[in-house]
Chains A and B, each alone.
Chain A
Amino acid sequence: MSDYIRKAFSGYASYSARGQFAFMLHRIAGLATLAFLTLHIATTATVFFMPQWYDKLVELFRNPVIMAAEILIAYFVVYHGVNGLRIAYLDLFRPDLWTKQASRKATPAVFMIAFILWLPALAIMGYQLLKYGFGLFGGG
């Protein structure tokens, strides 16, 4: 089993440490986003199937644990998007750039861009977490 886990998270080509981390994070982020998306579709669909549940579900999700998890999901979505754009561009248009040297340069840039793009989400959702999750700034 541990061999399977190693295989699933180590990538198909032989990566340097950074490339392997980029690959792992891409998978973890993608799977976490799919889990969120599945829940999100099912709960949003209650507006048609079980409309009396929807506002209760929104209320249920307005707690600190879920709100903190959503901030993490926001990072996963941003990272998966930035890194995915790099993968799509290289696979579709520049497969010749799939080299260790190029990846070694590109992956730190991807981490930085994703982190910077995530900061506004961290600020706004962090504020919402403090206000509505913990009742600070006059929230409840």
Chain B
Amino acid sequence: MTTMTDDTNRTAGYDAIAWKWMRYSAILLIPLVWVHAIIQALITGGHNLSLDYVSMRWATWGWRIYDMFLLAFAFSHGVNGLRQVLFDYLKGARARKLLNWLMLLFWLLLTAIGAIAIIGGVRPPA
């Protein structure tokens, strides 16, 4: 299960940071994701979600900060995981560089969309 013997450099540079980030964010994501999923999917239920429910929850700034943490940690963990899987298919330095940029763009785009929505909050439907 360990990724010690694959061919990415784990002792220095960005890949070492990414490797550590995956482990530390994993530990933090256990409580973050499970509390989120238990409240929204099990106690509230996906079928009960609505604009009113979201605006009620986001009326508390604590939950917005909570969701911001979730967005930051879960999505970066996920995109970096996808990057690691795709690295198994792409061995060339140029292909990997291109992939890194694409992943960074994908991560920035979705994170920006999510963050703007959390900060902007629920708008009344036009």
Are A and B a genuine interacting pair, yes or no?
yes
Count A-side interface residues using an 8 Å CB cutoff: 56
- Give B13 Cβ to nearest chain A Cβ, in Å: 18
A17 proximal to B (CB < 8 A): no
| Contact B33 A58, beta carbon cutoff 8 Å | no
Q: Is the CB of B85 within 8 A of A81?
A: no
Within 8 A of B (CB), among A87-140: 87-88, 90-92, 95, 98, 103, 120-121, 124-125, 128, 132
Is B30 touching A51 in the complex (CB atoms < 8 A)? Answer: no
Would you call A34 and B82 a contact (CB within 8 A)? yes
**Are B88 and A4 in contact, CB atoms less than 8 angstroms apart?**
yes
A45:B116 contact, CB within 8 angstroms: yes
Encode A74-94 as 1/0 by CB contact (under 8 A) with B.
Answer: 100100010111111011100
Within 8 A of A (CB), among B73-89: 74-75, 78-79, 81-82, 85, 88-89
Known A-B contacts A11-B1, A22-B1, A125-B42; A85 and B30 likewise in contact (beta carbons under 8 Å): yes
Contact A47 B54 (CB under 8 A): yes
**A30 with B27: in contact, given A47-B122, A48-B117, A87-B2 (CB under 8 Å)?**
no
Known: A12-B4, A41-B75, A87-B2. A61 touches B46 (CB 8 A): yes
Residue tally, chain B, CB below 8 Å to A: 48
Whether A12 pairs with B3 at a CB distance below 8 angstroms is yes
A13 close to B (CB within 8 Å)? yes
Known: A7-B88, A45-B116. A34 touches B41 (CB 8 A): no
Chain A: residues with CB nearer than 8 A to chain B? Answer: 4, 7-8, 11-13, 15, 19, 22-23, 26-27, 30-31, 33-34, 37-38, 41-42, 44-49, 51-52, 54-55, 58, 61-62, 67, 70, 74, 77, 81, 83-88, 90-92, 95, 98, 103, 120-121, 124-125, 128, 132
